[in-house]
Structure 1
Amino acid sequence: MAVAWYRDESDENLFELHMTDPPQILTPEEVFEKTLVRLSRVENCDDEEVQAKVREDGNFMAHDWLEISKEILQDEYEKKLEKYYAEHLHTDPEIRLIVAGSGYFEVRNASDKWIRLRVTKGTLINLPGGLYHRLTLDSNHYIKMLRLFSEIPAWEALNRPEGDTHPVREEHLAALPSDV
Structure 2
Amino acid sequence: MAVLEAWYMDESTEDQRLPHKLQPNQAVSVQELQDIGVCYWKLNADIYENDPALQKIRGEKGYSYMDIIDVHPDKLPNYEEKLKMFYEEHLHLDDEIRYILDGRAYFDVRDKNDRWIRIAMTKGDMITLPAGIYHRFTMDETNYTKAMRLFVGEPVWKAYNRPADHFEIRKQYVDSLNAINCFTGLIAQGL
The two structures share one fold, judged by TM-score above 0.5:
yes
Same amino acid, percent of matched pairs: 36
Q: Which residue of 2 is the match for residue 77 of structure 1?
A: 79
- Alpha-carbon distance in 2 for matches of 1:22, 1:36: 26
Q: CA deviation at 1:103?
A: 0.9
* TM-score for both structures, normalised by structure 2: 0.83
Write out the 4+ residue segments of structure 1 that deviate beyond 4 Å after TM superposition. 19-22
Matched ranges for 1:27-176 at <5 A = 27-33=29-35, 35-50=36-51, 53=55, 54-73=57-76, 76-161=78-163, 163-176=164-177
Structure 1 pair 39/155, CA: closer, same or farther in 2 (3 Å)? Answer: same
AA of the residue aligned to 2:28: L
Structure 1 spans left out of the alignment, 5+ residues: none
CA contact (8 A) 2:87 2:137 kept: yes
Counterpart residue type for residue 120 of structure 1: T
- Contact 2:107/2:119 (CA < 8 Å) preserved in 1? yes
Give the helix-richer structure, 1 or 2: 1
Classify the secondary structure of the residue corresponding to 1:18.
Answer: coil
Distance 1:155 1:44 in 2: 24
Q: Is the 8 A contact 1:5 1:22 kept in 2?
A: no
The whole-number CA distance in structure 2 between the counterparts of 1:50 and 1:167 is 36
What is the CA-CA distance between 1:44 and the residue it aligns to? 3.6
Taking a change above 3 Å as real, the CA distance of residues 22 and 153 of structure 1, as seen in their structure-2 partners, is farther
Residue 15 of structure 1 aligns to a residue whose secondary structure is coil
Structure 1 or 2: larger strand share?
A: 1
- The alignment's C-alpha RMSD in Å is 2.0
